């Protein structure tokens, strides 16, 4: 028996040694590298960090929009005879979209932050202010709206208007930083710093590049590097969210149609003219039959119907959660206010755009570097500085040939009235065809600053409520029927899993 016990003990020891060897050199599970056998997330093995099973959190105010293929473009008669949106099939990756249009209260929160943090830079606040004079009309009395619409609490949940495309993009950048700052505060990495002033304010990129310190919280990130104790959050931790931004035209149109409610086993049962089913703008449901589905102009001089039975309940804009959401849960994707999208307008974009995630407006940039090759110091407002890529930067590129692609396949030598052999000639020809510079000898209403807006508004007829319609405006201009909502890129799987 004693001999047998010794044999069993020897076998047990050998088995434990074998298991230990397998754990060190094998590739089982997510805790061990399949190429080196070294353990992840272990200071005794160097501390390389690896995370599996990442699922993106939904940012404040956003709704998940599962992507897919759809026919982008006009789905009813082109009564304007513009022929600028012929239907074509494209695929949209999954993304996130604001549930509602950005409200006056949302935008005033932005203005308040700017006024508090950039008190030494009053021009920043002035540039961010919406143009309240957009309400004025030569033969209409709208002064009460000029004075009250932005700031009076009666309009707090109405969509902000008088905002240019440039201002909308700046709001998106600000929102990104505030959301990510709060994430780090909630995780205990940073504490709230009420003394942020000027360039000393939280900027996501500046923080990731080590150009913002802030006040260290009670739970700083543990550094698994055996030679260090704590560290700042990195992008590969997956803690911070991607940027808030304007949706592309294709994303906006896809989200507005919300065909997810009209499909079965990858077959679409019905196309749509509007963000709801049917060819009319009234609710067909028996419990709400005849109710208006959006805020728009029904006919000449009819902005809201007759007293006692107002058809859409809005003389101008309405609360952003009015009417019924579409099948993605998005409100007012038709009517109320038109909405800026990211794209540069071209009449024939439908002939040129990619089949996957189509977008016109790419201007590829790179971070400004100092003489030693490091990222240059942030600017006076606390933002990382960028510049357009040069020909030298992209000398051996095959997938794109220039940093500014707003005119790609539209203002180049293949489509221009003036031909050129070199890429420099092509760039010059684009400036001639589209009035992108003050020295241009020829002019056009379509320029490199023309941005698309969509959706129809309280000033528009039903035709413009179709997501397939499109119009444009200079990115520096604004209107009393034009607002915006934000979007966010979905990273990883296009399918949203529940934890």
431: pLDDT strictly greater than 80? no
pLDDT-derived band at 380 (thresholds 50, 70, 90) equals very high
- Mean pLDDT (whole number) for 483-487: 98
407: pLDDT strictly greater than 60? yes
Given the structure tokens 């794109």, which residue do they identify? 400
Q: Give the pLDDT of residue 441.
A: 53
Between CA 190 and CA 202, with CA 196 as vertex, the angle to 5 degrees is: 50
- Mean pLDDT (whole number) for 318-331: 95
Q: Give the pLDDT of residue 289.
A: 78
pLDDT-derived band at 468 (thresholds 50, 70, 90) equals very high
166: pLDDT strictly greater than 90? yes
Residue-wise pLDDT for 61-85, tens only, equals 999 999 999 999 877 777 777 788 8
Percentage, residues of the chain above pLDDT 90: 68
pLDDT-derived band at 19 (thresholds 50, 70, 90) equals very low
281: pLDDT strictly greater than 50? yes
Three-class secondary structure assignment of 230-267: EECCCHHHCCCCCCEECCCHHHHHHHHHCHHHHEECCE
HSE toward the beta carbon, residue 258, CA cutoff 13 A: 22
* Residue 392 CA, distance from chain mean position: 30
- Mean pLDDT (whole number) for 245-252: 98
Residues 6+ apart with CB under 8 A from 473: 165, 450, 451, 453, 479, 482
Q: Give the pLDDT of residue 434.
A: 59
Q: Give the pLDDT of residue 265.
A: 81
The domains of the chain, with CATH numbers, are 16-52 (no CATH), 62-489 (3.90.1580.10)
Per-chain mean pLDDT for the chain: 87
Distance CA 460, CA 336 (A): 9
- Mean pLDDT (whole number) for 287-313: 86
199: pLDDT strictly greater than 90? yes
Q: What are the C-alpha distances in Å from 43 to residues 19, 25, 28, 223, 225?
A: 21, 17, 19, 9, 6
Has this prediction a pTM greater than 0.85?
A: yes
pLDDT-derived band at 9 (thresholds 50, 70, 90) equals very low
pLDDT-derived band at 25 (thresholds 50, 70, 90) equals very low
pLDDT-derived band at 496 (thresholds 50, 70, 90) equals confident
């Amino acid at each position: 028996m004693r001999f047998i016990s010794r044999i069993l003990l020897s076998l047990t020891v050998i088995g434990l040694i074998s298991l230990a060897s397998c754990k060190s050199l094998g590739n089982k599970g997510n805790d061990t590298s399949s190429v080196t056998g070294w353990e992840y997330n272990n200071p005794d093995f160097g501390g390389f960090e690896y995370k599996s099973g990442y699922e993106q959190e939904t940012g404040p105010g956003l709704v998940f929009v599962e992507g897919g293929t759809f026919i982008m473009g006009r789905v009813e008669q082109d009564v304007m005879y513009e022929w600028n949106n012929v239907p074509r099939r494209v695929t949209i990756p999954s993304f996130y979209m604001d549930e509602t249009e950005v409200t006056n209260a949302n935008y005033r929160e932005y203005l308040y932050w700017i006024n508090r943090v950039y008190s030494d830079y009053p021009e920043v606040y002035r540039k961010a202010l919406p143009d309240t004079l957009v309400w004025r009309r030569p033969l209409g009395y709208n002064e009460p709206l000029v004075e009250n619409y932005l700031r009076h609490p009666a309009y707090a949940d109405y969509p902000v208007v008088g905002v240019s495309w440039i201002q909308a993009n700046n709001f998106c950048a600000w929102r990104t930083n505030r959301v990510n700052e709060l994430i780090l505060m909630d995780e205990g990495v940073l504490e709230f710093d009420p003394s942020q002033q000027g360039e000393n304010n939280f900027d996501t990129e500046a923080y990731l590049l080590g150009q913002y310190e802030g006040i260290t919280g009670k739970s700083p990130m543990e550094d698994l590097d055996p030679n260090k104790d704590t560290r700042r959050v990195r992008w590969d931790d997956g803690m911070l969210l991607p940027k808030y931004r304007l949706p592309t035209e294709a994303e906006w149109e896809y989200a507005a149609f919300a065909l997810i409610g009209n499909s079965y086993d990858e077959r679409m049962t019905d196309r749509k003219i509007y963000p709801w089913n049917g060819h009319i703008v009234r609710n067909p449901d028996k419990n709400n039959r005849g109710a208006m589905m959006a805020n728009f102009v029904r006919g000449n001089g009819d902005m809201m119907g007759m007293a006692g039975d107002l058809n859409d309940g809005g003389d101008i804009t309405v609360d952003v959660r009015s009417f019924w959401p579409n099948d993605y849960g998005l409100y007012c994707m038709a009517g109320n206010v038109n909405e800026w999208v990211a794209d540069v307008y071209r009449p024939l974009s439908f002939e040129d755009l990619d089949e996957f995630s189509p977008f016109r407006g790419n201007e590829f940039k790179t971070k400004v570097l100092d003489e030693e090759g490091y990222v240059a110091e942030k600017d006076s407002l606390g933002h990382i500085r960028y510049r357009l890529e040069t020909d030298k930067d992209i000398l051996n590129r095959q997938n794109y040939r220039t940093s500014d692609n707003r005119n790609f396949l539209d203002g180049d030598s293949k489509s221009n009235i003036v031909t050129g052999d070199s890429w420099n000639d092509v760039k010059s020809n684009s400036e001639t065809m589209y009035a992108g510079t003050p020295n241009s000898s020829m002019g056009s209403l379509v320029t490199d600053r023309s941005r698309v807006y969509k959706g129809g508004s309280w000033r528009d007829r039903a035709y413009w409520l179709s997501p397939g319609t499109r119009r444009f405006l200079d990115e520096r201009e604004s209107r009393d029927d034009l607002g915006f909502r934000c979007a966010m890129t979905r990273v990883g799987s296009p399918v949203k899993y529940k934890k």
